[in-house]
């Protein structure tokens, strides 16, 4: 590690809270599927900021929209209308097939908004007694880091030390429709789930699970709320991962790639029946729906649509996953994924492999100790994927037997 990189990391370590364990690299520039460190070394980005960079680093059309808006107006608060929000909301609703959108900033904030929306609908529309509403979640979930959300996490690192947990949540095994059915009762207002569990290690549910969940939610009048912050906007090989199973939820939670990585933009989208229950004073955010966010969000969506990135993810991802499955090593436990959202699970800790990949010019991230996630920007070229595969193949071949 160079003196320059060492100094940059030391400065961050000295003055920052140690709530992350980054790889020992300091990045200074990015373009498309590539990033460069402080010493000018080039890497393939196979994390994409946890899917926030589906459109790639510094997509010129999104950057241009941001620059143009920065010179005009950045923030009004929602106390006033602005000339950018309406067009963004219209495109977001048309893209998602929903009637209304409620813009926020971070993904966790959008999930909190979804929790409030499901509870409000439960009390106002379903007739659940006040303060009795229950939301079913899945074991292994990752929906954010707020105190409410970590209270229903299965990850001890997420919840330990931050209690007491907020009541009103019931956990069931992911992918088990029978367990979901058994958990539903008269107080159940929502089912919050990830179509593919990203942070858990790209866990893909069994075929038919989402369709069964949709039928159960419809039968028992429960809102089906898909957290597509990581899986949505093209990552899994369709605009939304739910599309892959022919399922339309009642609510989508969106974020990350909604801004192409330029700015925190998130949203809850759904029907007028649900989002129409919010009235002035019941929910809000100073920065949510600001003109800069709206301009960036609209540009990010237009890039996804114009460049047909969901279809590109499906095509390139299917080919890359097939090639990954040809890799043979006794330490490989499983290779899985959909679209350009893949994982290699090992029988040994994954951190050494991630460090070796970094040394060879590919940045990925280990999760749950034994799994490496592989999620490049959707704009990555076939030639770049070929190069990346050669790096992965060499690094896996070098694993201890």
Q: Looking at the structure, do residues 299 and 326 belong to the same domain, yes or no?
A: no
Q: Looking at the structure, do residues 164 and 42 belong to the same domain, yes or no?
A: no
CATH code (residue 235)? 3.40.640.10
Q: Express each pLDDT in 213-248 by its tens digit.
A: 999 999 999 999 999 999 999 999 999 999 999 999
Q: Express each pLDDT in 242-301 by its tens digit.
A: 999 999 999 999 999 999 999 999 999 999 999 999 999 999 999 999 999 999 999 999
Domain endpoint, select from 279, 306, 333: 306
Mean pLDDT of 373-386: 98
Average pLDDT over the chain reads 97
* Percent of the chain residues past pLDDT 70, beyond the cut: 100
Query: Given this model, what pLDDT does residue 269 score?
Result: 98
The residue annotated as part of the active site, out of 37, 45, 227, 366, is 227
In the chain, the number of structural domains is 2
- Residue environment code for 283-315, b if the CB has 16+ CB neighbours within 10 A, otherwise e: bebebbbbbbbbbbbbbbbbbbeebebbebbbe
Mean pLDDT of 75-84: 97
Q: Looking at the structure, do residues 286 and 327 belong to the same domain, yes or no?
A: no
Q: Looking at the structure, do residues 327 and 227 belong to the same domain, yes or no?
A: no
Residue 256 falls in the annotated catalytic set: yes
Q: Which residues contact 243 (CB under 8 A, 6 or more apart)?
A: none
With bands split at pLDDT 50, 70 and 90, how would you rate the model's confidence at 356? very high
Domain endpoint, select from 306, 332, 361: 306
Q: Which residues contact 144 (CB under 8 A, 6 or more apart)?
A: 106, 107, 108, 109, 111, 112, 150
Q: Looking at the structure, do residues 114 and 249 belong to the same domain, yes or no?
A: yes
The residue annotated as part of the active site, out of 44, 46, 88, 142, is 142
Question: Could you tell me which of 71, 188, 219, 54 has the C-alpha nearest to residue 123?
Answer: 188
Work out the number of other CB atoms within 10 angstroms of the CB of residue 78: 16
Q: Looking at the structure, do residues 173 and 86 belong to the same domain, yes or no?
A: yes
CATH code (residue 16)? 3.90.1150.10
Q: Express each pLDDT in 166-180 by its tens digit.
A: 999 999 999 999 999
Burial class (CB in 10 A: 0-12, 13-18, 19+), 366: buried
Q: Is the pLDDT of residue 395 over 90?
A: yes
Q: Looking at the structure, do residues 91 and 219 belong to the same domain, yes or no?
A: yes
Whole-prediction pTM value? 0.97
Does an H or E element contain 338, and which?
Answer: strand 332-338
With bands split at pLDDT 50, 70 and 90, how would you rate the model's confidence at 199? very high
Domain endpoint, select from 245, 276, 306: 306
Query: Given this model, what pLDDT does residue 70 score?
Result: 98
Query: Given this model, what pLDDT does residue 167 score?
Result: 97
Residue 227 falls in the annotated catalytic set: yes
Q: Looking at the structure, do residues 351 and 245 belong to the same domain, yes or no?
A: no
Question: Could you tell me which of 319, 260, 270, 329 has the C-alpha nearest to residue 295?
Answer: 260
Q: Looking at the structure, do residues 205 and 91 belong to the same domain, yes or no?
A: yes
Q: Looking at the structure, do residues 7 and 77 belong to the same domain, yes or no?
A: no
The residue annotated as part of the active site, out of 256, 287, 320, 366, is 256
Residue 142 falls in the annotated catalytic set: yes
Distance from C-alpha of 308 to C-alpha of 292, rounded to nearest angstrom: 24
Q: Looking at the structure, do residues 45 and 84 belong to the same domain, yes or no?
A: no
Q: Looking at the structure, do residues 313 and 270 belong to the same domain, yes or no?
A: no
Mean pLDDT of 197-202: 96
Query: Given this model, what pLDDT does residue 197 score?
Result: 98
Which domain range does residue 243 map to?
60-306
Mean pLDDT of 10-34: 96
The residue assigned the tokens 């070929």 is: 386
* CA dihedral (57, 307, 67, 76) positive or negative: negative
Q: Is the pLDDT of residue 1 over 90?
A: no
Q: Is the pLDDT of residue 12 over 90?
A: yes
């Amino acid at each position: 590690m160079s003196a320059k990189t060492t100094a940059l990391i030391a400065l961050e370590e000295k003055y920052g809270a140690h709530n992350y364990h980054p790889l020992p690299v300091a990045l200074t520039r990015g373009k498309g599927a590539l990033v460069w460190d402080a010493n000018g070394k080039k890497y393939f980005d196979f994390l994409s900021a946890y899917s926030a960079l589906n459109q790639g680093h510094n997509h010129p059309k999104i950057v241009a929209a941001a620059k143009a808006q920065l010179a005009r107006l950045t923030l009004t608060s929602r106390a006033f209308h602005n000339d950018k929000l309406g067009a963004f909301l219209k495109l977001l609703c048309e893209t998602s097939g929903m009637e209304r959108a409620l813009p926020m900033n971070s993904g966790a904030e959008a999930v909190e908004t979804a929790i409030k929306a499901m509870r409000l609908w439960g009390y106002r529309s379903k007739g659940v007694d006040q303060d009795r509403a229950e939301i079913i979640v899945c074991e292994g979930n990752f929906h954010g880091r707020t105190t409410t959300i970590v209270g229903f996490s299965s990850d001890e690192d997420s919840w330990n030390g931050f209690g007491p947990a907020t009541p009103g949540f019931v956990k069931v095994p992911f992918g088990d429709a029978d367990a979901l059915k058994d958990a539903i009762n008269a107080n159940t207002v929502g089912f919050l789930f990830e179509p593919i569990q990203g942070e858990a290690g790209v866990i893909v549910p069994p075929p038919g699970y989402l369709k069964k969940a949709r039928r159960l939610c419809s039968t028992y009048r429960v809102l089906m709320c898909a957290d597509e912050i990581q899986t949505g906007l093209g990552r899994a090989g369709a605009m939304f991962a739910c599309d892959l199973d022919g399922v339309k939820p009642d609510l989508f939670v969106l974020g990350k790639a909604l801004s192409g990585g330029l700015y925190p933009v998130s949203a809850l989208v759904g029907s007028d029946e649900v989002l129409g229950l919010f009235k002035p004073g019941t929910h809000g955010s100073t920065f949510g729906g600001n003109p800069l966010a709206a301009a960036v969000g609209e540009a990010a969506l237009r890039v996804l649509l114009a460049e047909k990135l969901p279809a590109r993810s499906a095509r390139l991802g299917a080919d890359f996953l097939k090639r990954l499955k040809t890799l043979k090593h006794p330490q490989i436990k499983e290779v899985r994924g959909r679209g350009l959202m893949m994982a290699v699970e090992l029988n040994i800790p994954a951190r050494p492999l991630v460090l070796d990949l970094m040394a060879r010019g590919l940045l990925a991230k280990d999760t749950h100790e034994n799994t490496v996630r592989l999620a490049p920007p959707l704009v990555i070229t076939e030639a770049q994927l070929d190069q990346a595969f050669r790096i992965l193949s060499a690094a896996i071949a070098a694993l201890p037997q």
